């Protein structure tokens, strides 16, 4: 579901009109209409105001429920990890952070190497 449809859905679930949401978020009603029609994208400040007015987190307003979920091939592993003790979860976090840092370092190194002019 795209942002305009999510905004409409959440606004209606809260029982708000476009004017009511505009008033609550301190935005002009025409901006709400543009956001809902998809002809304009809200600024970060406007997104924060909308999320607060709708009593939502930014992620709920901006992302589809599956946009931030792990891919299917990792979902079972993450579900299993959720059953670990806090100490075991911390170990998994540290392992993941290390792997992510290693991956980012490799990407950075490859970019740096690729951007250097070759010497003859």
List, for residues 5-24, the tens digit of each pLDDT value: 999 999 999 999 999 999 99
Model confidence at 120: pLDDT above 60? no
Are 56 and 79 found together in one domain?
A: no
The band of 65, judged by pLDDT with boundaries at 50, 70 and 90, is confident
Are 52 and 79 found together in one domain?
A: no
Q: What is the pLDDT of residue 12?
A: 97
Region 82-103: mean pLDDT is 94
Are 79 and 109 found together in one domain?
A: yes
Residues 6+ apart with CB under 8 A from 76: none
Model confidence at 119: pLDDT above 80? no
Give domain status of residue 120, yes or no.
no
- Number of domains, the chain: 2
Model confidence at 116: pLDDT above 70? no
- Specify the 3-state DSSP secondary structure of 64: coil
Please report how the helices 86-115 and 72-81 are oriented relative to each other, as an axis angle in degrees rounded to 10: 140
Percent share of the chain, pLDDT over 90: 67
Give domain status of residue 32, yes or no.
yes
Q: Which domain holds residue 57?
A: 3-62
Are 97 and 57 found together in one domain?
A: no
51 is written with which tokens? 């999320």
Region 87-115: mean pLDDT is 88
**Domain stops at, among 62, 84, 103:** 62
Q: What is the pLDDT of residue 87?
A: 96
Are 7 and 52 found together in one domain?
A: yes
Region 82-101: mean pLDDT is 94
114 is written with which tokens? 């690729």
The band of 96, judged by pLDDT with boundaries at 50, 70 and 90, is very high
């Amino acid at each position: 579901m795209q942002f305009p449809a999510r905004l409409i859905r959440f606004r209606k679930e809260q029982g708000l009109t476009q004017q009511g949401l505009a008033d609550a978020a301190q935005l002009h009603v025409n901006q709400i209409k543009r956001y809902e029609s998809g002809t304009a994208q809200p600024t970060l400040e406007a997104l924060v105001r909308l999320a607060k007015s709708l009593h939502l987190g930014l992620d709920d307003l901006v992302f589809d429920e599956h946009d931030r979920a792990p891919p299917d091939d990792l979902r079972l592993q993450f579900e299993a990890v959720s059953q670990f003790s806090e100490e075991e979860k911390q170990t998994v976090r540290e392992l993941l952070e290390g792997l992510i840092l290693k991956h980012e370092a490799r990407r950075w190194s490859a970019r740096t190497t690729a951007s250097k002019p070759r010497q003859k």
